[in-house]
Amino acid sequence: MDTVNDTVPDGFILLGFSDNPKLEKTLFVAVIIFYMITLMGNIIIILLSHTDPHLHTPMYFFLTHLSFLDLCFTSSCIPQMLVNLWGSDKTISYLGCAAQLYIFLGLGAAECVLLLVMAFDRYVAVCRPLHYAAIMRPHLCHRLACLVWASGIFGTLVQSPTTMKLPFCHHRQVDDFVCEVPALIRLACGDTRVNELQISVVGGIFLMGPLLLILVSYCRIVQAVVAIQSQEGQIKALRTCSSHLVVVFLFYCSVTAVYIRPRSHFSQKGGKFLTLFYTVVTPTLNPLIYTLRNKDVQGALKRLLGKDRTAGG
């Protein structure tokens, strides 16, 4: 039977897929490739949004925040993940685990609220196009951005301290790649009912609440699109929302599966792949989704490259 460590542990062991070294080496290569693409893609979006006047709009203002958030989110966990995937030493210090958890939860909560804010922006653009400039003023955009980051701080301060105070088992083996709440709850040898209730409440506020409001906004958007007479107008309206909708789908499908049932068998077995998906794959896909079919971003990139070539010539 596992014993409880009454003192602050020296550190934890992130098991990952330690029982399958060949898989870990393959994952190491895949993760580092995805991480490089994430860094490059999100930095390009931030650079273009700040330098190109054509992208000085509310949509790209919030997209810049999403890119910066994804950069911080991945950088808080992927370097440690790469170290653990490559070598036999899979330890992480207690302070390192706590820092990772605080950042992880804060940025995750902030992204939930940011996706809701971006949905509101798309709702105004499609349903109130004549009043868009008057509603989405710079002052409102900055206040919404402050709300996003304040939500992240609130979300992590509510849950992280109580999670790190759990009575952890003496073996210190975290059955995951990162120090996240469901994995640390499974490591606890004491009563975790309060923590499980807390994760349900916080999940309801930061996951299901924003998701419900996003779905409501898109129901209104669909109604507005159906009312548009021309097919060309309908296609144009849908294109303004399609990228955001895909990002919402990718993010929520993986995160809710991990956080809604933290002690479930599915969460323990399949949760590792889901964790890999929303920490590695989704931040990589976000900039690609917003650039591959986005003529504004493609045009801004061409103008930037054109200026560089002109300067070089």
Which pLDDT score, from 0 to 100, does residue 120 have?
95
User: Beta strand pairing status for 173-174 and 91-93?
Assistant: unpaired
pLDDT in tens, 140-196: 999 999 999 999 999 999 889 988 888 888 888 888 888 888 888 888 888 888 888
Which pLDDT score, from 0 to 100, does residue 294 have?
72
Which pLDDT score, from 0 to 100, does residue 64 have?
94
Which pLDDT score, from 0 to 100, does residue 267 have?
46
Which pLDDT score, from 0 to 100, does residue 1 have?
47
SS3 helix, strand, coil % of the chain, rounded to 5?
Answer: 80, 5, 20
Q: Among residues 69, 64, 70, 62, which one has the least CA distance to residue 125?
A: 62
pLDDT in tens, 85-112: 887 788 889 899 999 999 989 999 999 9
Confidence of residue 300 (pLDDT cuts 50, 70, 90): confident
Residue scoring higher pLDDT (24 or 120): 120
Q: Is the pLDDT of residue 39 over 50?
A: yes
Under 8 Å between Cβ of 49 and 134:
no
Domains of the chain and any CATH numbers: 11-312 (1.20.1070.10)
With pLDDT > 70 as the criterion, what percentage of the chain qualifies?
A: 90
Confidence of residue 266 (pLDDT cuts 50, 70, 90): very low
Q: What is the pTM of this model?
A: 0.87
Q: What is the mean pLDDT of residues 26-54?
A: 91
Distance CA(263)–CA(272), nearest Å, equals 13
Ramachandran sector of residue 93 (left: φ over 0; alpha: ψ -120 to 50; beta: rest) = beta
Q: What is the mean pLDDT of residues 215-237?
A: 85
Residue scoring higher pLDDT (259 or 49): 49
159 contacts: CB under 8 Å, gap ≥ 6 = 105, 181, 198, 199, 202
Distance CA(124)–CA(17), nearest Å, equals 45
Confidence of residue 286 (pLDDT cuts 50, 70, 90): confident
Q: What is the mean pLDDT of residues 125-140?
A: 92
23 contacts: CB under 8 Å, gap ≥ 6 = 17
Residue scoring higher pLDDT (1 or 59): 59
pLDDT averaged over every residue in the chain: 84
